[in-house]
Amino acid sequence: MLEDGVHAVPAGHTASVVTHLEMSGQAAQRPEADLPLDLVRVTAPDPDWYLDLFRKVGAPWLWFGRLVMDRGELRAILSDERVHVYVVRDGTEEVGLLELDFRQHDDCELAYFGLVPQAVGGGAGRWLMNRAIRLAWAEGIARFHVHTCTLDHPAALEFYRRSGFTPYAREIEIAPDPRLSGLLPEDTAPQVPLIRP
């Protein structure tokens, strides 16, 4: 059990507060702009393609979960018929990632949800969330859940709450900084200071 107070984070690591959220019934669709976007499911995506999109969307927030994963393990997840991967396209440009994980009975995890930086702020997030909610609940689930952390976009937590998710748990995550291992460039996410060991 973590004691109250301030705790040192080892140099070369990041620390974040992770908030877990859930909804137990389908939230109402929020008003959205008429955007020229398409949401396309990619079955059994090639890991190289997936990781390229994962980096484009997640690098500004130091997403690393899929980057540290063994390639065989990643391929197994992506090829699992219960894991639904979608790409958001603006014309021919890939501008977003949605990953819905139905591997737990009666549950759907919003495993990854994000847009490339140039697509943020114009209503595409709400557009994508409306579709994510519809797609998740169409599978007959009892619970839809997601987690976000303090390394994510500053508006992410409130966005999830406005979308119908309710916070239910909190954790502290300490992990090796992915910029020091070369998984992401060292100049990525300058808002998070890089502290070398």
Per-residue pLDDT 10s for the chain (197 aa) are 678 899 899 999 999 999 999 999 999 999 998 999 999 999 999 999 999 999 999 999 999 999 999 999 999 999 999 999 999 999 999 999 999 999 999 999 999 999 999 999 899 999 999 999 999 999 999 999 999 999 999 999 999 999 999 999 999 999 999 999 999 999 999 999 999 99
Residues 6 or more apart whose CB falls under 8 angstroms from that of 132 comprise: 98, 100, 110, 113
Structure pTM? Answer: 0.95
Mapping DSSP to helix (H, G, I), strand (E, B) and coil, where does residue 145 land?
Answer: strand
**Class of the domain covering 13-176:** alpha beta
The structural domains of the chain, with segments of one domain joined by +, span 13-176
